[in-house]
Amino acid sequence: MLQVWILQGCIVGAMPKNPYSYGGPVTGRHFAGRDAEVAALVSRMRNGVSVAVTGPRRYGKSSLILRGVEAIRAESGAVASINLLHCPSLDAFASRLTSVAFEIPGARWRRTRQAVPEFLSRLSSRPTVTFGDDGRPAFGFGGLDARDAGRVLDDVYGMLAALADKRPAVLVFDEFHAIADLGTGLAGVLKALGDEHPQVSLVVASSKRHLMEALVVSKGAPLYNMAERLALGPIEPDALLAYLRARARSGGKDMGEDAALEVCTRAGPVPYDVQRLAYEAFDVAGCRLSFEDIGAGMARVVEHETPDFSDRFSARAPGQRRVLVAVAARCGIREPNAAAFAREVGYATPAGTRRAITSLVEAEMLVVRDGVWVVADPFFAEWLRQL
């Protein structure tokens, strides 16, 4: 029997799932645009060229890398990928790196329990091995120092290099800035390994601009001249609009071009914000998404985030709060250092506003986009406007 649902006035064939996704890295149907960046990244991964993916948070660095990794794996390439934020210690780093090396698709030792001894024979260190319920091994390290961890890195890099003779080989470190927390030596070890094994593509990503400068970009950085920079900007507007409309359609609702544009305008350039607003607007809409639905979607996000917004706001100094409110009220400001703006927000001199703005930029609450200082988060800006 065919089951139909009547949902907010629409007859739909099945209870539709919300077609948008925000949070972790996206791929497949949830990934919009960026054809040129994907092609550039995959080509470099395939050819042993190292890449540093940079860009503000939530612009889609991890998603882009995931796309690249999927493409390389589909060509039977060898990929070992870890997120350094999941490695709070050198032991955790060594353990994760060893696990992903063990799971490299197509490697001879891969994944069977019997293969563990052969795999271990390729390591210069001796981890403990335990097997989970799923039969997969976990490799335990205890009390490693930076030199020991460097040796584990050396082993895994060497395994990838050996595989690189026949197919692409890629080592990914997402949230690369966190390598600095693991000790000073590892970035230098990576540079030496990159020089020794140029056939392996090392891909690193981070949104921490200053830390990436210090690690990769500036002269004298440990990885200077090793990685090509791929700086992510916003998703191409046409692709994003087409994506928003196609996803709405797949969820059984219609989104006109003007509504898609309104979502992008209100959410701003950060893909996470666009997906989040589209998600909420889709949820409240009937068969066709209207501007009112988008406004209601905006209100929903603001409502969910209000406790966090109040905490973040009340943690700032009073002057910084006044700057935030003023910047949000004007939807951005071109000349925050002008004397008139300083007076408006209660500072005696522009030096006061400058200090407040520097601090708000460091806290990622304000950003400069196209020469205009704006509140980074469009939902926070909306909340500030309602104060």
Ligand X SMILES: Nc1ncnc2c1ncn2[C@@H]1O[C@H](COP(=O)(O)OP(=O)(O)O)[C@@H](O)[C@H]1O
Interacting residues toward Mg ion by CB under 5 A: 61-62
Q: From the list Mg ion, ligand X, none, which binds 194 (C-beta under 5 to 8 Å, kind-based)?
A: none
Quick one: which of 3, 32, 30 has its CA closest to 251? 30
The smaller minimum CB distance to Mg ion, of residues 84 and 263, is found at 84
CB of 376 to Mg ion, least distance (A): 16
CB of 121 to Mg ion, least distance (A): 35
Specify which residues 262 forms β-bridges with. none
The smaller minimum CB distance to ligand X, of residues 57 and 208, is found at 57
Quick one: which of 72, 225, 92 has its CA closest to 160? 72
CB of 205 to Mg ion, least distance (A): 6
Residues in the chain, total: 387
d(CA 41, CA 87): 25
- Angle between helical axes of 146-163 and 185-196 (0-180°, round to 10): 20
Q: From the list Mg ion, ligand X, none, which binds 28 (C-beta under 5 to 8 Å, kind-based)?
A: none
Q: From the list Mg ion, ligand X, none, which binds 271 (C-beta under 5 to 8 Å, kind-based)?
A: ligand X
The smaller minimum CB distance to Mg ion, of residues 29 and 86, is found at 86
CB of 236 to ligand X, least distance (A): 10
CB of 174 to Mg ion, least distance (A): 6
> Tokens 């890398």 correspond to what residue?
65
Specify which residues 333 forms β-bridges with. 373
Q: From the list Mg ion, ligand X, none, which binds 32 (C-beta under 5 to 8 Å, kind-based)?
A: ligand X
The smaller minimum CB distance to ligand X, of residues 123 and 264, is found at 264
Q: From the list ligand X, Mg ion, none, which binds 34 (C-beta under 5 to 8 Å, kind-based)?
A: ligand X
CB of 247 to ligand X, least distance (A): 9
Q: Which residues contact 79 (CB under 8 A, 6 or more apart)?
A: 69, 72, 73, 104, 105, 169, 170, 171, 172
Inter-residue long-range contacts of 17-23, CB under 8 Å, 24+ positions, other chains counted: 17/251, 18/251, 18/279, 18/282, 18/283, 19/247, 19/248, 19/250, 19/251, 19/282, 20/247, 20/275, 20/276, 20/278, 20/279, 20/282, 21/275, 21/279, 22/272, 22/275, 22/276, 22/279, 23/272
Q: Which amino acid is at 333?
A: I
The smaller minimum CB distance to Mg ion, of residues 50 and 62, is found at 62
The smaller minimum CB distance to Mg ion, of residues 61 and 321, is found at 61
- Residue of this chain nearest to ligand X (CB atom): 60
The smaller minimum CB distance to ligand X, of residues 237 and 318, is found at 237
Q: Provide the binding-site residues for ligand X, judged by CB under 6 A.
A: 21-26, 30-34, 57-63, 235, 271-272, 275
The tokens of 363 are what? Answer: 């806290």
Q: From the list Mg ion, ligand X, none, which binds 63 (C-beta under 5 to 8 Å, kind-based)?
A: ligand X
CB of 5 to ligand X, least distance (A): 26
Instruction: Give start and end residues of each alpha helix (H) in the chain.
Output: 35-46, 61-74, 90-102, 116-121, 146-163, 185-196, 209-212, 237-250, 257-267, 271-284, 291-314, 318-329, 339-344, 350-362, 378-385
The smaller minimum CB distance to ligand X, of residues 171 and 193, is found at 171
CB of 273 to ligand X, least distance (A): 8
